[in-house]
């Protein structure tokens, strides 16, 4: 028999220490990450924390998620204001890297999973949630057909994803020898150009980092910037050690950055950004290799390059899939990581309202793609 509690806030140290009882929990479920992500927009979102207890009050399961109070736009603040007008239709709830279940017995895992799903249903009802979605942890190797059936029986749709993982318990030479020759060439070319990699260690460096991020967003048609409150929340992640940021400089210009999630002996390649201000962009490959070297020297066991959606079986989806994923997955495959499956879970509480959201979001998608196609990169001197 398991009980649950739903909390608006938790003690960070206690929550994170319980997460570490699982070998597959990542920084996505840490208190610092959830609090930082909830502060990205001017309209405040908020985290929710679920604890599952056994009869002896031992924590047997955890799930941290974020309640997004308004529809999110990417192309323009004006589009976002328009979407916010319709936020009364309902909210969205989302998580990454969960649930975390502190039990290896598959029968007990299913009981804990059912308890977590029941808690989510209460959150849905209490917060007027239209859609809830989440991504399972790639390193949870005990997810099987029975686990997925339990999720389906609770009304979730399931999409297949996969990620690329390197075992850092191997030597750096072994890891390097598994990297594709073209990527090795790019790393060496970056080194010959004297591209310098620095770790973000000072709060004042955040301004440069976010300025680069905003430049990168423009190349993708994204016109929305994070709120002013995000800097402080994100700095807390860096101070806690749950995130690292590496910066690439070429001729004293910041040209690329790499955001790395670090928790529980797992390093996760969270975000590579590039200014695209140079004829060829070599900051990314060198940043990735330097991050691997840092993680290895820091005693981290697993390096997760991240991945993407599995190839769809429906022919009608393959063009969309190719445009969205092909180039990214080609880059990630070149690092020689082993593929691990994980799953995207999505539950529609109100399908009619969700369809309205999708229709209202189409202008945002159209404007973003127009900006992306017509973005003019700065001319090189």
pLDDT at residue 121 in the model: 96
Q: Are 138 and 50 members of one domain?
A: yes
Q: What is the DSSP letter of 259?
A: E
Tell me how far apart the alpha carbons of residues 167 and 153 are, in angstroms, rounded to a whole number: 35
Tell me how far apart the alpha carbons of residues 306 and 339 are, in angstroms, rounded to a whole number: 10
Q: Are 149 and 224 members of one domain?
A: no
Q: Are 215 and 306 members of one domain?
A: yes
Token pair 């790393």 in the structure block, residue: 187
Q: Are 174 and 113 members of one domain?
A: no
**Pairing, β 157-167 against β 302-309:** antiparallel
What is the value of pTM for the model shown?
A: 0.89
Q: Averaging pLDDT over each range in 194-198, 200-204, 261-265, which range is the top one?
A: 261-265
Would residue 93 count as lying in a domain? yes
Would residue 381 count as lying in a domain? no
Token pair 């980092």 in the structure block, residue: 209
Q: Are 296 and 312 members of one domain?
A: yes
Q: Are 140 and 183 members of one domain?
A: no
Q: Are 138 and 223 members of one domain?
A: no
Q: What is the DSSP letter of 311?
A: P
* CATH number of the domain encompassing residue 282: 3.40.630.30
Give pLDDT tens digits for 122-178. Answer: 999 999 898 999 999 998 999 999 999 999 999 999 999 999 999 999 999 999 999
The answer on pLDDT for 100 being more than 70 is yes
Q: Are 328 and 222 members of one domain?
A: yes
pLDDT at residue 12 in the model: 93
Give pLDDT tens digits for 182-200. Answer: 999 999 998 888 889 999 9
Average pLDDT in the 332-350 region?
92
- Structural domain count, the chain: 2
Would residue 380 count as lying in a domain? no
For 336, residues 6+ apart whose C-beta sits below 8 A from its C-beta are 166, 175, 178, 179, 180
Q: Are 14 and 151 members of one domain?
A: yes
Would residue 213 count as lying in a domain? yes
Would residue 379 count as lying in a domain? no
Q: Are 132 and 265 members of one domain?
A: no
Q: Are 120 and 26 members of one domain?
A: yes
* Distance spanning both ends of the chain, measured CA to CA: 68
Give pLDDT tens digits for 275-305. Answer: 776 655 677 899 999 999 999 999 999 999 9
Q: How confident is the model at residue 73 (pLDDT cuts 50, 70, 90)?
A: low
Q: Are 99 and 210 members of one domain?
A: no
Ramachandran angles phi, psi of 192, nearest 5°: -70, -25
Token pair 């929305």 in the structure block, residue: 224
Percent of the chain at pLDDT above 90? 56
pLDDT at residue 29 in the model: 97
Tell me how far apart the alpha carbons of residues 200 and 207 are, in angstroms, rounded to a whole number: 11
Tell me how far apart the alpha carbons of residues 178 and 335 are, in angstroms, rounded to a whole number: 7
**Pairing, β 253-263 against β 266-274:** antiparallel
Would residue 378 count as lying in a domain? no
Domain around 246: 165-340
């Amino acid at each position: 028999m398991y009980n649950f509690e739903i909390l608006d806030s938790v003690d960070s140290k206690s929550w994170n220490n319980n997460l570490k009882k699982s070998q597959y929990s990542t920084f996505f479920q840490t208190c610092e990450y959830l609090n930082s992500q909830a502060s990205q927009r001017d309209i405040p979102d908020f985290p929710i924390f679920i604890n599952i207890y056994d009869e002896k009050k031992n924590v047997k399961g955890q799930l941290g998620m974020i309640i997004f109070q308004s529809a999110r736009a990417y192309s323009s603040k004006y589009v976002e204001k328009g979407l916010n007008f319709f936020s009364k239709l309902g909210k969205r709830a989302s998580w990454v890297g969960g649930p975390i279940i502190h039990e290896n017995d598959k029968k007990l895992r299913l009981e804990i999973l059912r308890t977590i799903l029941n808690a989510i249903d209460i959150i849905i009802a209490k917060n007027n949630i239209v859609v809830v979605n989440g991504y399972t942890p790639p390193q949870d190797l005990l997810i099987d057909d029975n686990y997925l059936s339990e999720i389906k029986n609770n009304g979730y749709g399931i999409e297949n994803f996969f990620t690329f993982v390197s075992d850092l318990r191997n030597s750096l030479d072994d890891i390097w020898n598994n990297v594709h020759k073209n990527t090795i060439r790019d790393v060496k070319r970056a080194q010959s150009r004297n591209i310098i990699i620095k770790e973000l260690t000072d709060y004042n460096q955040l301004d440069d980092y976010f300025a680069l991020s905003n430049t990168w967003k423009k190349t993708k048609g994204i016109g929305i910037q994070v709120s002013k409150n995000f800097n402080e929340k994100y700095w807390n992640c860096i101070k806690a050690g749950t995130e690292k940021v590496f910066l690439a400089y070429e001729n004293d210009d910041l040209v690329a950055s790499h955001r790395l999630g670090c928790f529980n002996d797992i390093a996760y390649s969270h975000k590579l950004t590039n200014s695209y201000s140079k004829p060829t962009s070599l900051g990314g490959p060198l940043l990735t290799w330097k991050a691997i070297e840092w993680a290895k020297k820091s005693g981290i066991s697993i390096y997760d390059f991240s991945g993407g959606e599995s190839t769809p079986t429906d022919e009608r989806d393959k063009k969309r899939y190719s445009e969205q994923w092909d180039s990214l997955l080609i880059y990630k495959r070149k690092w020689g990581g082993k593929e691990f499956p994980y799953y995207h879970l999505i539950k529609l509480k109100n399908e009619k309202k969700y369809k309205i959201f999708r229709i209202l979001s189409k202008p945002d998608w159209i404007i973003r793609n127009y900006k992306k196609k017509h973005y003019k990169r700065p001319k090189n001197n």
